[in-house]
A and B are shown apart, each in its own frame.
Chain A
Amino acid sequence: MARLPLEGYRIIDITEVWAGPFSNSLLGDLGAEIIRIESYPRVAQSRPASGQATGGAGGNRVGPPDAPRPWDRATGYHMTNRNKLGITLNLADQRGKELFFRLIAKSDGLIIGYSAGTMFRMGFGYDVLREHKPDLVMISMPGWGERGPYQGYATFGSGADAWGGHHYLRGYPDLDPSATIASVHNDAPNAVTIAFAMMSALHYRDRTGKGQFIDLSQAEVLINNLPRPYMDWVMNNRIDEPIGNVDPDIAPNGCYPCVDPDSWVVIVVRSDEQWRGLRRALGDPAWAADARFDSVLGRIQHREEIDVHLREWTSGLKPYEAFERLAAAGVPAGPVNNVDGPPTDPQLAARGFYRWVTHPVTGQYRRPGPLFNLNATPAQFRRHTNLLGEHNHDVLCGLLGLSEGDYEALIEANLIGTEYNPEFNVDPEDRL
């Protein structure tokens, strides 16, 4: 097996839900050993404690509500976690903290997903951790960043999406923002950016021997991804309005209905060449020969007239039929897939994108592959989604050298475990 770029590096993952856990999975794909520490006995946000409980990661469960180990069955948890060793540890307890420090001493990086300020309250500031590992690379990744007045503020990616202007910009042009639901979009670019940040800092550390602390604001990552509206405000004091699916400079362009209920294809005709391709794909209908449609400006001017004809054509086809005919004629188009689209898509199948994995609790299933192909050092899915506390013994005894007696004492003291008691799924404040 080829060597992987990050083999030999150890990263500690104390994050929840999506962006944080997935960033660690990506580093795991590249070969790092990821040790994920999960809350205990308090139930981790990403894990459902019972068959009925709502889990922060969303998604549904594999198996009936009374199936054993519900915390290992949430599909949202499986989505964001792979290639990791998983341990539980009560980090609020002094003994848990000491074990954590010992683990840090043997690690290269730490990605921590607490809200701003919490790492200091927990006693995990960079200055403290660096005493245990002088060249540690540590990333804190709160929604609005570690520093600044929003101490203690918490959000998922959807909050940054709303705050940073994306919720407003992605709405229907004729409806207010309540017409579109929250989107976790921002977790996805953040996951890759967090992993990129970790690698950049490790690269520097390898060269100089210096670690560092990285303050990542998920909202500021989003702003970097929206330069056009931000620069329009800077340049022209203009607040961009949502444009929906139609770029005003491109026609025809948009989302067109197909033959089955709620089935759609998107089409983009930017150039004269693509317009000629569209006409070919449609079998050169008489309406399209109209000279008014020969130029980009003409097509923009008569957009609605063209759309009536184009909708008539798409309405007789399935999304993939329309897409294949247009693509063969050089016209950018795409079926608007539901979740069952990608798994049967011919391109993804031809490239072997989906991979079978086997999980001890949920069995065999296919999951989307790595995000990229490094031809000489290809990623592998080396480890199934970690079970709760699956690697407690390997890590605490194997890596940290705890004796069997000390290990049993941790279990006895309820500081580690492999099963949750749903009774602990409460906010500490609720017990007051």
Chain B
Amino acid sequence: MPDRALADLVVLDLGTDVTGPYCAKLLADYGAEVIKIEDPTTGGDPARRTGPFPGDIPHPEKSGLFLHLNTNKRSVTLNLKTASGRAILVDLVKRANVLIENGLPGAMDDAGLGWEDLAEVNPKLVMTSITPFGQDGPYKDYAAEEITVFAMSSRMYTHGQPDREPLRYAPDTAWFQVGATAALATMGGVFAQRRFGIGQQIDVSALEALVGNVDAGTVAYSMTGVKREGRVRQTVSSASGVVPCLDGFMLMIAGGERFFRRLLRAIGHPELAQDPRFATAAARAEHRDDFDVIFLPWCLERTRREIFEQLQSYSVMCAPVQTVDEVFTDPQEVARNFFVEIDHPAAGRLLYPGAPFIMEETPWSIRRAAPLLGEHNEEVLCGELGLSRQELMALAAQGVV
């Protein structure tokens, strides 16, 4: 069996919904041993109650979101409002490299499980804390949702039609970005732990993770004071934007000098490169309609696939606007065997998104499907922490697990 890149890491995932669990999933899928701690008093991770569900019938073990986010993790239920629940967590922390949580700032401290408390039993612990606005500052206690943080980050304002309201991106995308950011930050902590023997808390503010990784407008504004335009209908020309074709729409990314000349060759009009109407970016913008008259009919006679292949063979950047079902049969994904089938005791055999990147020596792998709620209580608490079966049953009776 091939080795796993992060096989030496033990991670406690106290995260809920998307950000914390995606951070832990990245670590788990590349080899870390991840124990997911779920609250038995609320039915576990709320993602279990978010769809999609097969047949639209809600079931805590069949949420598509939860199943994807929690591959390769074991689930232990622990009521951290009880002293014995907290004591068990502290025991687990002693053996862990990393703890990931996305509760409100101060919530872990209030439970006696803050960084200072946990560092007493494990001074090398990396504690990754993900919150909407960070651990301090005037907004630290504000309630937030993905769309509210996304709106504040300044991406939403330019997205959509000028005469309509600004549009968010598809649900979850910003939270996934924050989760991946937290995974990178966590690796920073892991390197400092391994190399310098130190632990630390990592404070990940979702707002900062988004604003710091935003499009050119932010830095442009701070460097020049020029505010970018709000929402615009379309960019410079149909060589750069969404154009209709025979069976849908193509996204064209051929507005730049080199790409536009390649585009002209690809559609059989190399001579237009010498045409003053199209010679410069400014001229192309001015004569946009003249190019549309040539290019749009060419597109409307062809399918997305034909245009994609023809233009890409001339190194013209473009892509079909697809719906997700089309990706499953896309020749690239078929050849790369991207989607993987995973068997789950409740949800059955389903295809899941596969590796976000392929490590050739230490491949991404599914060693176990997402856990049932509390599935590994006995395995972890008795098998690894040494509790007796009687003790476990007593804890269950007291509502601790």
Contacts and interface: CB of A to CB of B under 8 A. Distances in A.
27 contacts: A3-B192, A5-B195, A6-B191, A78-B219, A79-B219, A79-B220, A155-B317, A159-B318, A168-B322, A172-B164, A175-B161, A182-B251, A188-B213, A192-B181, A203-B187, A204-B5, A214-B359, A220-B333, A245-B147, A341-B152, A347-B134, A353-B208, A365-B222, A368-B212, A371-B209, A372-B202, A426-B258
Interface in A368-395: 368-377
A22 B212 CA distance: 11
Given A155-B318, A196-B187, A217-B357, 4 more contacts: A167-B251, A196-B183, A223-B338, A333-B148
Which 8 A-B pairs give the minimum distances between C-beta atoms?
A: A231-B64, A334-B148, A159-B319, A59-B216, A212-B361, A376-B200, A225-B176, A5-B191
A230 B324 contact: yes
Interface in B46-98: 50-56, 64-65, 67-69
B241 A350 contact: no
Given A231-B68, A239-B324, A368-B212, A54 B357 contact: no
B154 A172 contact: no
Contact of B357 (A215, A247, A374, A426): A215
Contacts of A374: 185, 188-189, 192, 200, 202
B242 A226 contact: no
Interface residues of A, number: 164
Contacts of B198: 376-377
A240 interface: yes
B189 to A, nearest CB: 6
B253 A182 contact: yes
Interface in A112-148: 115, 139, 143-145, 147-148
Interface stretch (B223-231, B373-381, B386-394): B223-231
A332 B144 contact: yes
Contacts of B40: none
Contact of A155 (B154, B319, B330): B319
A370 B336 contact: no
A387 B219 CA distance: 17
Given A266-B147, A343-B222, A52 B280 contact: yes
Contacts of A164: 322, 324, 327
B323 A227 contact: no
Interface in B225-262: 226-228, 230, 232-235, 240-244, 248-249, 251, 253, 255-258, 261-262
Contacts of B257: 53-54, 425-426
Contacts of A341: 152, 154, 157
A357 B190 CA distance: 29
A228 B146 CA distance: 15
A188 B196 contact: no
B303 interface: no
A227 B65 contact: yes
Interface in A243-264: 243-245, 247, 254-255, 257, 262, 264
Interface string A86-128: 0000000000000000000000000000010000000000000
B259 to A, nearest CB: 9
B180 A192 contact: yes
Contacts of A60: 220, 224, 226
B205 interface: yes
B227 A338 contact: yes
Contacts of A54: 255-257, 281
Contacts of B166: 255, 264, 336
A26 interface: yes
Contacts of B401: none
A194 B242 CA distance: 28
Nearest to B341: A234
Contacts of B313: 152
Contacts of B1: none
Interface string B159-187: 11100111111111100110011111101
A237 B325 CA distance: 8
B55 A236 contact: yes
A244 B167 contact: yes
Contacts of B30: 200
Nearest to B27: A200
Contacts of A163: 319-322, 327, 330
B356 A221 contact: yes
A226 B145 CA distance: 17
A155 to B, nearest CB: 5
Contacts of B159: 170, 180-181, 183
B54 to A, nearest CB: 5
A235 B52 contact: yes
B213 to A, nearest CB: 4
Interface stretch (B106-114, B286-294, B347-355): B347-355
Interface string A298-339: 000000000000000000000000000001001111111111
B302 interface: no
A30 to B, nearest CB: 5
A189 B357 CA distance: 13
A350 B312 CA distance: 48
A331 B143 contact: yes
B26 interface: yes
Given A52-B280, A162-B251, A345 B152 contact: yes
A176 B161 CA distance: 12
Contacts of B366: none
Among B3, B224, B251, B258, the one with the most A-chain Cβ atoms within 10 Å of its Cβ is: B251
Nearest to B210: A188
A396 interface: no
A228 B199 CA distance: 35
A163 B169 CA distance: 15
A256 to B, nearest CB: 8
B181 to A, nearest CB: 5
A337 B148 contact: no
B328 interface: yes
A346 B133 CA distance: 11
Contacts of B325: 233, 237, 239
Contacts of B343: none
Contacts of B201: 375
A75 interface: yes
Nearest to A428: B258
B306 interface: no
A234 B350 contact: yes
Interface string A190-230: 01111111011101101110111111110111011111111
Interface in B297-338: 312-313, 315-328, 330-333, 335-336, 338
A87 B202 CA distance: 33
Nearest to A168: B323
A160 B204 CA distance: 27
Contacts of B361: 201, 204, 210-213
Given A53-B257, A200-B359, A235-B53, A172 B171 contact: no
